[in-house]
Amino acid sequence: MKLDVVTIFPEYLQPLRAALLGRAAERGLIEIGVHDLRNWTYDVHRAVDDAPYGGGPGMVMKPQVWGEALDAVCTERSRLVVPTPAGRPFTQAVAREYAEQEHLVFACGRYEGIDQRVFDDAARRMPVDEVSIGDYVLVGGEAAVLVMVEAVVRLLPGVLGNPVSAEQDSFSDGLLEGPSFTRPEVWRDLTVPDVLRSGNHAHIERWRRDQALERTFRRRPDLLTLLADELDDHDRAVL
């Protein structure tokens, strides 16, 4: 998979070279390009923004600069991802969909956003998604790109040491993952639940499912409503 990021803060994307993502790149599983938007400015001031039509606070990023940048970075096989608090929610399902793509291009806006015509134009040649990582406002899209790239890349074959971890985590079955324990058996007078040391794998699986259901009910009841049809009688008894 190829990943390109266009930003006015390329140094902000340095974490893409670290840890899990850095190792995936070294092993040739992904190829990451980070591009300074100012490479495509055309005036001595290297201006990337201008006052908004219609007035109002802040600045809007200029269409000419973004148009040239995306012409250079995108191909007819790219998918353009635009982080914005005004986007559709980025979910695990979206991460799975992105993990199937051959080329993702992330366009990081700052200020009050990017001239809408940049995306309307790009959409004539490629899929364009405006996506939000949550209901809060960031200063720019860079941190959101780090979040999305990590969510996508860990799903690629060969990136995680143990592929079962990706299959079992929160959201893969629509529930939050329950608690985990390791040695020692007693720590600061707190004990590991007996069932986990019982060796009875059927009991352990049932207990884990119950814990996931209870946790989801308490913390994210909205997720359970979505899952209502998939719960069996035992599941319902837990709730």
Give me the least distance between CB of 70 and ligand 6GU, in Å please: 18
Answer yes or no: is 158 a known binding residue.
no
Q: What backbone phi and psi angles, to 5 degrees, belong to 190? A: -100, 135
Closer to ligand 6GU by CB, 139 or 186: give it: 139
Residue 6 φ then ψ, to 5°: -110, 130
**What radius of gyration do the chain's Cα atoms show?**
22
Catalytic: 169? Answer: yes
Quick check: is 154 catalytic?
yes
Query: Which CB atom, from 70 or from 142, has the smaller least distance to ligand 6GU?
Result: 142
- Between 41 and 84, name the residue whose CB sits nearer to ligand 6GU: 84
Minimum distance, C-beta of residue 143 to ligand 6GU, in the bound complex (Å): 8
Q: Is 178 annotated in some ligand binding site?
A: no
Q: Is 114 annotated as a binding residue?
A: no
Task: Please pick, among 71, 102, 169, 230, the residue that the annotation labels catalytic.
Answer: 169
Is 60 in a helix, a strand, or coil? Answer: strand
Residues forming the site for ligand 6GU (CB under 6 A):
83-85, 87, 131-134, 136-138, 140-141, 144
Residue whose pair of structure tokens reads 């980070």 in the numeric block: 34
Cβ closest to ligand 6GU, residue 106 vs residue 208: 106
Instruction: Provide the CA 99 distance to its chain's centre, in angstroms.
Output: 11
Q: What six digits make up the tokens of 238? A: 């837990």
Is 85 a catalytic site residue? yes
Distance in Å from the first CA to the final CA of the chain: 42
Provide CB contacts within 8 A for 185, sequence distance 6+.
Answer: 191, 192, 197
Which residue has the CB atom at the shortest distance from ligand 6GU? 83
Residue ranges for the known binding site for S-adenosyl-L-methionine are 109, 133-138
